[in-house]
Structures are given as C-alpha cells and as structure tokens.
Amino acid sequence: MFTRQHDYPLAPHTTFGLPARAAHYIELTDSGDLPEICRLPEFDAATVCWLGGGSNVLFMQDFPSLVVRMATRGIRELERTPDSVLLEAQAGENWHGFVQSSLHMGLGGLENLSLIPGTVGASPVQNIGAYGVEVKDRIHSVRCFDVQAQEWRELSNAECRFAYRDSIFKHEGRQRYVITSVVFRLDTQFVPNVKYGDLAQVLAEQCGGRTPTAQDVAQAVCAIRRSKLPDPAVLGNVGSFYKNPLVDAAHAQTLLAQYPQMPHYPQPDGRVKLAAGWLIDQCGLKGKTIGGAAVHDKQALVLVNKNHATAADVRALSDEICRIVAQRFAVDLQPEPVWLPLAA
C-alpha cells in the first residue's frame, strides 16, 4: 500500500539539498504496487521521476509531476557455485549498506565501490565505478517493470548496454524501465584489484605486509574517500560532479608534452581517459564560489552546497568551470548528475 502526497519537499531526499518541491510524491516500499501507480491520474510515463537516494540528481526548480521514491528493501541469495554466488538486492537498498552486507557474507567483487552514495537501483543506470572497477563487471542481470508493456522483465548484462557512466537506462530505457532489483555475481574466492590511484599505497600501510582481504580493501577505499570527499550529511554534494573525459590519443599526447605529470589512462578503444579533478585543480579552481555553491577545497571534482545554494548558483559555477577547463586544455567536461526537470 502506498500514500500519495502533494506539494512535497524534495530537499531531504537529495544529497545536494537544493530547495524544490514535487507536485505529487509516492514512497514505494513494494514493487508489486507499480502497476497500480501507473494507473493513477497523476502518472505520466513521459514525466514521472523515479528517485533513488537522490545522490545523482539536481532539482533545478520545483518538479511539476509525480516523483516516486524507491524505498524497497531486501537482499537474498539466488544461486551458489564453488566460485561464485548470485545475490539479488532490491532497488531501494542503500548501496554502501549492500556492499557491507556482501562482504559480511564472505563475498568479494564490490569492495572497490564502497561508500559510493545512492541506492542499488541507481547503480546500473550510471554504471557506477571507482578505483578501477565498474559495477557492470559484477551485474548479472537487472529486474525491471516495463511501464510501456506493463510487464516484468529481466535484462541481461548485455541487454543493459553498459558503457562508461552509461547504460540503456539513460537512453531509450529511461522512462520505460523501472529498476526493481539487481542481481550480482560475486566471488567466493577473493582476488584483489588494487592497481588504481593511491589504493595500493594505503592498503600496504594498512596491512603491513599481510595479504589483504576484501574487508581490508573496502576499509582502505572508505579511508581514502573520507579523506578527500565531503560527507553529504554535513555538506551537500552529489559526489563527483563531472565525468572523467575521454580524448583521442593525439590530443592526449599534445597535453602530455605540456603536462608530463598529467594523470592519464589508455582505454581499449585507443582513447585516453583524463582525470577531471586534476584538470579543474590545475586551473586553480578549488574553493571557487558563486553564490552559495562552491568547488570543494580538498577535491576539485566535487561541487558543494556551501551556503543555501540556488539552482542558478550551481549552473553558473558549473558553466564557469567548463569554460575555463575548455579554454586551457581544449577538453569538454560533462556533468554527471541529472538536472531535473529535463528540457523538453
């Protein structure tokens, strides 16, 4: 059973905390209610907002339609082999809480993704990633309600069409598929992936020569993230505000000739991934403020709600950052969060 509310404040359900209200609001605790919700007079498949943890959205003004917040809970084992386990988590499960649960079950594979804000249901949409791991590497399938066909579906990993910070759920599946749960294939035998960034160094200091466990890796990732990233409960933010840009090899070489210390990561398709935070930092933008919005003083990749920021403050600051980075490096930055309402 669900309750409809009207003129509902959204700031408490987003991590950046911009002031905005929803014309209509439902908190979904049972995915079985989805067919009934689709029959409501307030429901419009083209405009409805399916909200998870609110950690990757910016409500730039009041939302004129229905917002449904996914609040379903539950984790269960579906299948076990000697090497792996299929684990299903409901869409409303807190992502970090789910990672911790998988570790407590003795399963590896998600430890590098510890402390990422948001919910399980949002993880395939953005194909979340950190420290050399993307969630697509661990997703077996995604279970959804097809609003268009009014039926339940299970999409395979391939059908989700995962790419860097991308999936089918950001394109033709955006208003069609409501993710109700995600099935992960996790390992019973742990193999660490600690080659990315400063993770190996922190882990070596933490373990003192012994072989790291999945819990060790998770703790190291949490320590690094907490040292660099602000807690949304204390200082509003959406985590990484920009995608790490991909450039062609020739442009990367041009930049490396000027900036030999520039972090860069060659990709299988020949392009090179750059570190957006490094580019912003090199432009001296840490701490830059417009209105109540600011670039975090420790991590240039993060914009924060420093003092009752407005949507106009955030847009102006982001536009200025993109302009300065493009001017200096000839690299276009793309914001990660979804700006709502979407332009028609």
SS3 assignment, position 222: helix
137/283 Cα distance (integer angstroms): 34
The mean pLDDT value for 155-184 works out to: 96
Measured torsion, CA atoms of residues 257, 259, 260, 263, in degrees rounded to the nearest 10: -120
Query: How far apart (Å, rounded) are the C-alpha atoms in residues 265 and 42?
Result: 47
Q: Percentage of residues in the chain with pLDDT exceeding 70?
A: 99
Q: What's residue 211's pLDDT?
A: 87
pTM of the model: 0.91
At 39 the pLDDT is: 97
User: Backbone phi, then psi, for 279, in 5-degree steps?
Assistant: -60, -45
**Segment 11-37, tens digit of pLDDT:** 999 999 999 999 999 999 999 999 999
- What is the DSSP-derived secondary structure letter of residue 212? P
Which positions are catalytic?
165, 240, 336
In angstroms, the CA 165 to CA 188 distance is: 27
pLDDT of 343 reads 65
pLDDT, tens digit (0-9, with 9 covering 90-100), for 266-285: 999 999 999 999 999 999 99
Q: Which domains does the chain have, with CATH numbers?
A: 4-70 (3.30.43.10), 75-187 (3.30.465.10), 236-340 (3.90.78.10)
Residue 92 CA to residue 100 CA, distance in Å, equals: 15
| DSSP secondary structure, 273-341, as one string | EE-HHHHHHHTT-TT-EETTEEE-SS-TTEEEE-SS--HHHHHHHHHHHHHHHHHHH-----B-SEEES
pLDDT in tens, 66-99: 999 999 999 999 999 999 999 999 999 999 999 9
**What is the percent of the chain with per-residue pLDDT over 90, rounded to a whole number?**
92
Q: Give the per-residue pLDDT at 140.
A: 98
Token duo for residue 286: 């840490």
Asked if 236 and 305 count as a contact pair (C-beta separation under 8 A), the reply is yes
To the nearest whole number, what is the mean pLDDT of the chain? 96
Let me know if 152 is exposed, middle or buried by CB neighbors in 10 A (0-12, 13-18, 19+): middle
Q: How far apart, in Å, are the Cα atoms of 112 and each of 85, 135, 239, 282, 334?
A: 18, 10, 16, 27, 24
Q: What is the DSSP string of 77-110?
A: EEEE-SSEEEEEEETTSBHHHHHHHHHHTT-BS-
Q: Is 174 left (phi over 0), alpha (psi -120 to 50) or beta?
A: alpha
Compute the distance between CA of residue 106 and CA of residue 218 in angstroms, rounded to an integer.
13
Dist. CA 52–CA 175, nearest whole Å: 14
What is the C-alpha to C-alpha distance for residues 26 and 10, in angstroms, rounded to an integer?
A: 12
Residue 344 has pLDDT above 80, yes or no: no
User: Token pair of 328, please?
Assistant: 């200096």
